[in-house]
Amino acid sequence: MKNDKNDLEQELFHYALRLLAIRGRSKKELLELLITKARKFHLSYEQIVSVIDRLESLRYIDDRKFAETYVSFSVCVKKRGIERVIRELRERGLSDDDDDGIDHTRKYFQDCYAEDEIAFARHALGKRGNQYRLLPIDKCRKKVYGFLLRRGFSSHVISSLVDEWCKTPYNKRDKSS
């Protein structure tokens, strides 16, 4: 029976490796997935924690590295602001208390991307922002502000970009009419 439990624990370990091969995951995310899978095998919580500890000792799970990778991907590829990224990291199990958690993520963002946050916001507007330029000033401001807020950019970045973005020839002509 003990050998069967070890085999099942080994199978759970390989399942965790397959999950991590698909994409990086936080410790909490992986723990929740392993708990779901372990119910099928009737494994105890201690065995699941043993698998998690083994993955951590082999450095397959590292919340700090996960957070840094997630920030880079979300900001550069998905064009999201830091507030949304932090909210998503909290949903994935990172907390403010950890050294590897939200505080580290915010500092990492400040070090790497803070100077370019307006450029990232401008880039995030892209084609959609060009459509908003065709609207009257008040609608343009509302649409741009809402779009960037949903993307997670801070209000001071949004307000500076709204003033810049909604000053187009159409809007000026609309104002003088």
pLDDT in tens, 120-131: 888 888 878 888
- pLDDT for the residue numbered 177: 44
- pLDDT for the residue numbered 173: 46
What distance in Å separates the CA atoms of residue 138 and residue 155, rounded to the nearest whole number?
17
Q: Which two tokens stand for residue 150?
A: 């949903």
Backbone dihedral angles phi then psi of residue 102, each to the nearest 5 degrees: -65, -40
Alpha-carbon separation of residue 40 from 55, 107, 126, 163 (angstroms): 21, 41, 47, 56
Cβ pair 74, 50 in contact under 8 A: no
Condensed to tens digits (0 to 9), the pLDDT of residues 70-103 reads: 888 888 788 888 888 888 988 988 876 655 567 7
Output b/e per residue, 65-88; b: 16+ Cβ within 10 A. ebbbebbeebbeeebbbbbbbbeb
Domain boundaries, the chain: 2-57, 63-114, 117-176
Using 50, 70 and 90 to split pLDDT, how confident is the model at 107? confident
- pLDDT for the residue numbered 174: 47
Q: Which two tokens stand for residue 48?
A: 């699941």
Region 2-7 average pLDDT: 71
Backbone dihedral angles phi then psi of residue 51, each to the nearest 5 degrees: -65, -45
Rounded to two decimals, the pTM is 0.72
